[in-house]
Structure formats: structure tokens, C-alpha cells
Amino acid sequence: MNKICCFIKLFLIFPFYVFAQNANENYTPTIPNPDFKYAFIKMVIILSLLLVLVFFTFWLFKRFMRIKIDQANLTKNIKIIERRALSHKSILYLIEVEGKRVLISESNLEVRKIESLDSIDYENE
């Protein structure tokens, strides 16, 4: 029991006693004048680096998606031959399904077959 009391006094009460003694002394810390010019320049540099990183990430993502589509066209029966955006909400696709080319449109509401292009000879391309 005596060891527990010594432990409580030493580790729990003694730090508060020392802190209370130091609080009584007249201590005024000196705060240096802040340099906002350096902080502003640092903020602008970091912001510009973040913007470059965001644009680079979008560019890289777009490139990888294009490569993924091209690789999928090599091994599958359904191939996307060409894609053309008419507006930000509608896109035309020229696809090939088992050797037959089909023109389809995509919008927010639907995907619709426009025309089958079987009669045209594409061997000369």
C-alpha cells in the first residue's frame, strides 16, 4: 500500500505541483512577428502544384482509358471503330459486331440504332 501511495504522489500529484510553481513566476513569452509574405508565396506555389497534379491525373486517366478501349477492340467481337461527340450530352458510335458495322447514338435518355452499314465495302480502308 505504501508503494502505491508513493507512486500516486510521484507521478500524479508532483507534476501538478511543479506546474503550479512555474505558473506563479512572471513569464512572458516573446512572439516573433509573423511573415505573411513567405506564407502567401508558399501557399501560391503549393496551390499551383496541386492544380498541375490534378490536370496531370485527368490527362493520365483519359489516356489509360483510351488505351484500354483500343486493347479491348483487338480481342473482342464487338469493336468501337469511331466515337464522335455531338454535344456534351450526345455521342455517335460506329461499332463493328462480327464484321457488320452499325451506327448508334447515345444520349442521357437512350441508346438508339441509327443505321446498319452492311452495304458499304470497307476493305479499301
Domain ranges of the chain: 41-75, 77-119
pLDDT of residue 13: 59
Stretch 63-85: mean pLDDT: 78
Rounded to whole angstroms, the Cα distance separating 21 from 61 reads: 62
Q: Where are the alpha helices (DSSP H) in the chain?
A: 2-7, 14-24, 36-75
Q: Is this model's pTM higher than 0.85 or not?
A: no
Rounded to whole angstroms, the Cα distance separating 1 from 9 reads: 13
Looking at the chain, the whole-number percentage of residues with pLDDT higher than 70 is 68
CB 113 within 8 A of CB 102: yes
